[in-house]
A and B are shown apart, each in its own frame.
Chain A
Amino acid sequence: MEVLSATDQKKEAFLKGIAAACETPLSMGATQLREAAMATLESQPVPTTRSEAWKYTRVTRLIGKTWNKGEAQENATEYFVPEVNGWNIVFVNGQFDAAQSTMPDAAGLTVMTMADALKAGKLDAQWGSLTQQQSDWFEALNMAFATDGLYIHLEAKTAIDRPIYLLHLTTGDATAVVSRNFIQVEKGANLTVVQHAVSAEGTSAYVNIVNEHFVADNAQFNFEKIQDEAGEIYHHSTEWAEQTRDSRYDIRSITLQGHWVRNNLNIRVNGENCGTNLYGSYMPNGKEHIDNHTMVDHLIPHCESNEVYKGIVNDKSTAVFNGKVFVRPDAQKTNAFQQNANIVLSDDAEMYSKPELEIYADDVKCSHGSTTGQFDEEAVYYLRARGIGEQSARMLLVQAFVADVMDAISNDALRDYCLNKLQERASA
């Protein structure tokens, strides 16, 4: 009999727990995808800080714990941001809550659970096609074990003004949530989806959510991702997006709070004249750990991407930003802009920022900037000299610092909510 090493034993135990928590995963209905994912999980080790992609983010605690299936019942009302005016769709611990959800009734728009979509044969060859391009261990975990999620399809030339507001509520102790969304915006269509992850103080959980987004020719898709989880949540969030010609893909990743957060955002810009906007903001306090890894892959000429991530890092917390931009040999006339700016508020806080530009075309405009500094105390003094209290002065400056990210949020109520939360945190 083969003897397992301590590391492999831990991996086995972790996977066993996840498998028990996610008894009937979606992948049961997709043999090939399941087999490929299981093969990755088995053949690859769990990532450690020895690998570049996980250098600053440890998964030891997350792997060392046994996670269970959570209860499916909890009132979600209080967690919604008021006045977003969307179609509210609730998942509690990864399970769809029909009673608390309002399914959209707009022509051309299909919204259903992933389980139903799979049964209805709607998850065609595109499902899993993006995530499989890179055999990431945790993405494989999601493919193998995701129990459900939201399927959204918008027909060509349909513009939907009202956002779909997906709320992920996590509750309980040592709860496992593995969820997967699939969103397809067809030619010339226009859609906004809000994904809001929440949990109450005292909750502990592992949450792994993968999104696949397909944005067709001349379509526009806005994805507003808000993470605001209290308690001890290990939150793993991945978006894979592919856009084709003349389309626009805008994503905002706002982490208001989170014990341990890892965001992977991967965008394949696979058509001419695409616009891609990635905005992010994070403000870890206490001992929180927030890691954003982004990747924009320019494959085709004449596209423009614009990335702005802003962080305020406080107390003993850590933030990580890693921004990859690929400009492939064919992608001439690419305009790629990236900015990561950080304010570190305490001596014990840590910020790791790493722009990575790999440019293989020769007629492109690419720029990046990474700054990490302290509060501008001269500005605080100037404001105080006009009678503004020190706390208000700092809040004004926080607002100013994150303004470009906040202003990019497509929904006013959501923007105001995020800004207020960030300001509250800055002055706490």
Chain B
Amino acid sequence: MLKINDLHASIEDNEILRGLSLEVKPGEVHAIMGPNGSGKSTLASVLAGNEDYEVTGGSAELDGKDLLDMGTEDRAREGLFLAFQYPVEIPGVSNINFLRAALKDIREYRNLAPLSASDFLKLVKEKSALVELDGKLTNRSVNEGFSGGEKKRNEIFQMAMLEPKLAILDETDSGLDIDALKVVAHGVNTMRSPERSFIVITHYQRLLDYIVPDFVHVLYKGRIVKSGTKELALELEEKGYDWIKEEVTA
């Protein structure tokens, strides 16, 4: 599904990713943890095609296609989805019109016939129920005046609508209360399938009780320095990152 090899990326001449490699196979859930500033969100941004970052080396392929060569919209059309850490408010653009435009462009790219108006609305109803997103919110301007939790649920709602191959959740759990966290996790778990993969970026092990990962990686100074299973997350929660840093510098 996703193959990242020796990826280097910088922002304003600051190298953040320094040779990151990662392989995600279909159906797998990978959690990426790490101390602040280790490059977790940079990885998400670089994969999604944020032009603020410059890729200076390495490769990233989605199902054999060179991701780094594609524009942001084409990555999304190929099936990559990023749930943003800080979803953008777009006054005046309704959630519904936004998703209609997105689905239209994605389906066109994949040579699929456009959804009928009634099929589209059915999908909206079904998927918004999945994350318990109020019907009123789906008609409001994108993220405008949404609470933190509503914004995050809206990200998962969008993910459910667009049905990506690979979803990257960038700290979707940060700042969520336990109820909202369960809702988000339920949305993600419902979407899990043998064909769909997830990269879950998080600070906190708590999320991984609800979205159980197949692998846990520790990112430090722009590289994956340790990989393990879900037990690694528990160990990190208990011991912090200092022992990892020591291992790396040793």
> Which residues on A are within 8 Å of B, measured CB to CB?
376, 378-379, 381-390, 392-393, 396-397, 399-401, 403-404
A residues in contact with B48, CB < 8 Å: 385
Contact (Cβ within 8 A) A386 B93: no
Cβ of B46 under 8 Å from chain A:
no
Cβ of B187 under 8 Å from chain A:
no
Contact (Cβ within 8 A) B105 A387: yes
Contact (Cβ within 8 A) A387 B109: yes
Contact (Cβ within 8 A) A387 B77: yes
A residues in contact with B72, CB < 8 Å: 381, 384-385
A389–B77 CA distance with the chains assembled, in angstroms: 10
**B76-110 interface (Cβ within 8 A of A):** 76-77, 82, 84, 87-88, 90-93, 97-99, 101-103, 105-106, 109
A390–B90 CA distance with the chains assembled, in angstroms: 15
Q: Which residue of A lies closest to B90 (CB)?
A: A379
Contact (Cβ within 8 A) B102 A397: no
Contact (Cβ within 8 A) A397 B93: yes
B residues in contact with A381, CB < 8 Å: 50-51, 72, 88
Pick from A386, A392, A397, A401 the residue with the most CB of B within 10 Å.
A386
Partner of B93, one of A378, A384, A400: A400
In the assembled complex, the CB of A394 is this many whole angstroms from the nearest CB of chain B, namely 12
In the assembled complex, the CB of B11 is this many whole angstroms from the nearest CB of chain A, namely 14
Given known A381-B50, A383-B98, A396-B97, contact A390–B73 (CB-CB < 8 A): yes
Contact (Cβ within 8 A) B84 A387: no
A384–B90 CA distance with the chains assembled, in angstroms: 13
Given known A396-B101, A397-B90, contact A384–B82 (CB-CB < 8 A): no
In the assembled complex, the CB of A189 is this many whole angstroms from the nearest CB of chain B, namely 34
A387–B101 CA distance with the chains assembled, in angstroms: 9
Cβ of B49 under 8 Å from chain A:
yes
A384–B45 CA distance with the chains assembled, in angstroms: 13
Contact (Cβ within 8 A) B73 A388: yes
Contact (Cβ within 8 A) A386 B76: yes
Contact (Cβ within 8 A) B76 A378: no
In the assembled complex, the CB of A396 is this many whole angstroms from the nearest CB of chain B, namely 5
B residues in contact with A385, CB < 8 Å: 48-49, 72-73, 75-76, 82, 84
A residues in contact with B105, CB < 8 Å: 387-389, 392
Give the top 10 A-B pairs by smallest Cβ distance, nearest first.
Answer: A400-B92, A387-B76, A384-B72, A387-B106, A386-B102, A382-B88, A384-B73, A400-B93, A403-B92, A387-B77
A residues in contact with B97, CB < 8 Å: 396
In the assembled complex, the CB of A419 is this many whole angstroms from the nearest CB of chain B, namely 12
Cβ of B145 under 8 Å from chain A:
no
B residues in contact with A378, CB < 8 Å: 88
In the assembled complex, the CB of A343 is this many whole angstroms from the nearest CB of chain B, namely 12
Q: Which residue of A lies closest to B83 (CB)?
A: A385
Q: Which residue of A lies closest to B76 (CB)?
A: A387
In the assembled complex, the CB of A325 is this many whole angstroms from the nearest CB of chain B, namely 25
A177–B82 CA distance with the chains assembled, in angstroms: 57
Contact (Cβ within 8 A) B92 A399: yes
Cβ of B71 under 8 Å from chain A:
yes
> Which residues on B are within 8 Å of A, measured CB to CB?
48-51, 71-73, 75-77, 82, 84, 87-88, 90-93, 97-99, 101-103, 105-106, 109, 141-142, 158, 162
A residues in contact with B91, CB < 8 Å: 400
11 contacts between A and B (CB under 8 A): A379-B88, A379-B90, A381-B51, A382-B90, A385-B49, A387-B76, A387-B102, A387-B162, A388-B73, A390-B73, A401-B92
A residues in contact with B90, CB < 8 Å: 376, 379, 382-383, 397, 400
B residues in contact with A401, CB < 8 Å: 92
In the assembled complex, the CB of B119 is this many whole angstroms from the nearest CB of chain A, namely 18
A392–B98 CA distance with the chains assembled, in angstroms: 10
In the assembled complex, the CB of A390 is this many whole angstroms from the nearest CB of chain B, namely 7
Contact (Cβ within 8 A) A382 B73: no
A residues in contact with B76, CB < 8 Å: 384-387
B residues in contact with A382, CB < 8 Å: 84, 87-88, 90, 142
A385–B51 CA distance with the chains assembled, in angstroms: 12
Pick from A386, A387, A399 the residue with the most CB of B within 10 Å.
A387
B residues in contact with A400, CB < 8 Å: 90-93, 141
Since A385-B82, A388-B98 are in contact, a sample of 8 more A-B pairs with Cβ atoms closer than 8 Å, ordered by chain A residue number, is: A381-B50, A383-B93, A386-B162, A389-B73, A389-B105, A397-B90, A399-B93, A400-B91
Partner of B101, one of A379, A392, A403, A404: A392
Q: Which residue of A lies closest to B158 (CB)?
A: A386
A393–B98 CA distance with the chains assembled, in angstroms: 9
B residues in contact with A386, CB < 8 Å: 76, 98-99, 102, 158, 162
Pick from A376, A388, A392, A396 the residue with the most CB of B within 10 Å.
A388
A residues in contact with B71, CB < 8 Å: 384, 390
In the assembled complex, the CB of B47 is this many whole angstroms from the nearest CB of chain A, namely 10
In the assembled complex, the CB of B87 is this many whole angstroms from the nearest CB of chain A, namely 7
A residues in contact with B93, CB < 8 Å: 383, 396-397, 399-400
In the assembled complex, the CB of B114 is this many whole angstroms from the nearest CB of chain A, namely 13
